[in-house]
Amino acid sequence: MKNKGFTLIELLVVIAIIGILSAIVLASLDTARNKGVDAAARADLDDARAQAENYYDSQSPNTYVGVCTTAATGIVNMLNGAANDEGTTVGGSGGVTCNSSASAWAAETSLKNAINGASNWCVDSTGTSTPRSAALSSNTNC
């Protein structure tokens, strides 16, 4: 009588191959997830730029003062959205920073995946939307 079935070695080899393949797939999914989170945060900051211009136009005289903190501007929600996307906070270390003056404003968020070596994304009132390596600190331009 001939035995049919798999040996223990054959089963262990198949299980090892499946384990290796699943580890590779999970690593790739994590990278893709982080890129998606960064894209969402960047989109939130780009939306905030348009909202900041609406705020500027609605002020008399035209000013950006308060654009980062006035809840009615709507930009606060977008900054919070960018911070939530990245799992940080507005104004927190490694989170979203926003600065404004009468004539300019800038906002920046940290990224999970660096872009060309830069770990932050910055938008400002001049229309700039760019990666940054240095922190925004108190600047009102990227």
The torsion of the CA quartet 20, 25, 29, 30, rounded to 10 degrees, works out to 10
| Domain residue extents for the chain | 8-132
Give pLDDT tens digits along the chain (142 positions). 577 788 899 999 999 999 999 999 888 888 888 888 889 888 888 888 888 998 899 888 999 998 888 777 778 888 888 888 777 766 655 678 889 999 999 999 888 888 888 889 999 999 999 999 888 888 888 8
How many CA atoms within 13 Å lie on the side-chain side of 121? 25
Give the predicted TM-score (pTM) of the model: 0.75
Q: How does DSSP classify residue 96?
A: B
> Tokens 């499946």 belong to which residue?
18
Instruction: Name the phi and psi angles at 93, rounded to 5.
Output: -65, 125
Distance CA 125, CA 142 (A): 9
